[in-house]
Amino acid sequence: MLEIDRLAMNEIELRKQTIEMMKIDDQERQVSIAFINRLVKSTEMKGDKEFYKYQQPSEVFDSKKAKLSVFGESATNEEKDKIAEMIRNEKLLNEIFEEGG
C-alpha cells in the first residue's frame, strides 16, 4: 500500500512539473506572438510610398509546409483524424488542469 501511495505522490509531482512546463511553453508562445506581431507590422519604402513587407500570412509562416514536414504527404485520413482527436483531447486536459492548478 505504501508503494501505491508513493507512486501516486510521484504522479502528482510529475503532473505539477508538466503544468509548469506548459506554462513556460505558453509564455514562450506569447513572446513569439509579440515578435511576429512586430515582424508583420514592418514596412518598406517603394519610391515615395510605404508598404507592408509581408502581404500574406504564408510569407511569414507556411503552416502547410510545416505540417507536411512532420507527417509527410503520405499521412492517411485515419491518421489525420487520430491526430486531430489527440489535439482536442490535449486541449481539454490543459483546460482541466489549468482550472485545477
pLDDT in tens, 34-61: 999 999 899 999 999 999 988 888 888 8
Q: CA–CA separation, 101 vs 91, rounded Å?
A: 15
Q: What are phi and psi of 44, to 5 degrees?
A: -145, 155
For the cut 80, the answer to whether the pLDDT of residue 16 exceeds it is: yes
**Apex CA 6: angle with CA 98 and CA 100, to 5°?**
10
Q: Look up residue 20 and give its three cell numbers.
A: 509548469
Q: What are phi and psi of 46, to 5 degrees?
A: -125, 105
This prediction's pTM? 0.50
**Contact yes or no for 60/40 (Cβ under 8 A):** yes
